[in-house]
Amino acid sequence: MTDPETPDPNSDEALAAAWGAETETPGEDPVAQAPARVLNQAEIDSLLGFDEGGGGDQNASGIQKIISSGLVSYERLPMLEIVFDRLVRIMSTSLRNFTSDNVEVGIDNILSLRFGDYLNSIPLPAMLAVFKADEWDNYGLMVVDSAMIYSIVDVLLGGRRGTAAMRIEGRPYTTIERTLVERLIHVVLADLSASFDPLCPVTFRYERLEVNPRFATISRLSNAAVLARLRIDMEDRGGRMELLLPYATLEPVRELLLQQFMGEKFGRDSIWETHLAEELWNTDVELDVVLDEQTMRLSDVIALQPGSRFPLSVGPGASVALRCGTVPLFEAKVGRRKSRIAVRIERETPRAPSER
């Protein structure tokens, strides 16, 4: 039996004391050593970039900002920006005809982000329209915020100007509201198809309308997507619409969207090519008729003098070669036309693929 006054060497207090004795620096007073500083939860959140009340990615700091910075930098598509600018102009006209009101459409920004990050950032309540690009066999997403929903309902049902749209939160959208928003979505999708027409023909077809972002998942959460935020003002009313196109949806026309301007050929200049072809057709070339080839010693070549004769083994009707420089082009036969020696081309000389 152990003495009750003797501390147990296996107890927590004894083990902690032994560990503290081992970690003490020799020659120093243990009391003089500064205690290890432990970070609190606020400091840990600040280090990792999870500050409460932050303003999104703009106020992100620490390790979180370093990690996220490498995940939202995607390939820039210059021609897609032109397509969205064209969409703004077309929508301004079509929405004026649709609402019989003065409508101004503007584009706030175009950015690239991950699909999952966007789903988590959608302000609710909102309507999420899923549409399909038939020619590309993939999907896109259109989000209509609450202010735009109530504004379009108010305008189409004859609401008076100068009165703020009534927003009743916490209730599902009615059938009338959904029907009117669907009509708006059809108009915008038709304008989006018209915006892509100069680039490539595509038809965006309305699929379904959702109010829960989980049911509007059209891509993997980690996949990249392009987001265009549109601002629609109808005098004292309005709202926002957002168009999301995953990079997988745009992949069939990626080469076209990488162009700096419409019709760019990535280094090819059609005017220069046409001019070069015309000049090549008008270029004079010399053809050499090889009547005979002989192998001679160098001493015999040096001994040649004016008046020396070479017996040729080619007679009338023999086959000879036509060359341009060192490149054999045709096989021909020797003949005579009036008082001149002539050749008649019989066939083209076959060449290796590397010589063509």
Distance (Å, whole) CA 257 – CA 345 = 50
Q: How many CA atoms lie within 13 A of 224 on its CB side?
A: 16
> What single letter denotes the amino acid at residue 124?
L
Q: What's the pLDDT at 70?
A: 45
What pLDDT does 55 receive?
44
pLDDT of res. 54: 44
pLDDT above 70 for 163: no
Is the CATH code 3.40.1550.10 the one for domain 78-257?
A: yes
Is the pLDDT higher at 32 or at 220?
220
CA neighbor of 224 nearest in space, from 135, 116, 137:
116
What mean pLDDT comes out for the span 161-179? 71
Q: What is the pLDDT of residue 11?
A: 64
pLDDT given at position 204: 92
Q: Which two tokens stand for residue 265?
A: 């050929």
Domain ranges of the chain: 78-257, 284-355
Amino acid letter, 292: D
Lowest-confidence range among 63-67, 258-262, 337-341?
63-67
Higher pLDDT among residues 10 and 259, named by residue: 259
246 pLDDT more than 70: yes
The domain 284-355 is classified under which CATH number: 1.10.1740.10, 3.40.630.30, 3.30.70.100, 2.30.330.10?
2.30.330.10
> pLDDT tens-digit profile of 47-56?
665 554 444 4
Burial profile 42-68: b = 16 or more Cβ within 10 angstroms, e = fewer:
eeebeeebeeeeeeebeebeeebeeeb
Q: What is the pTM of this model?
A: 0.55
Place of tokens 């309540």: 125
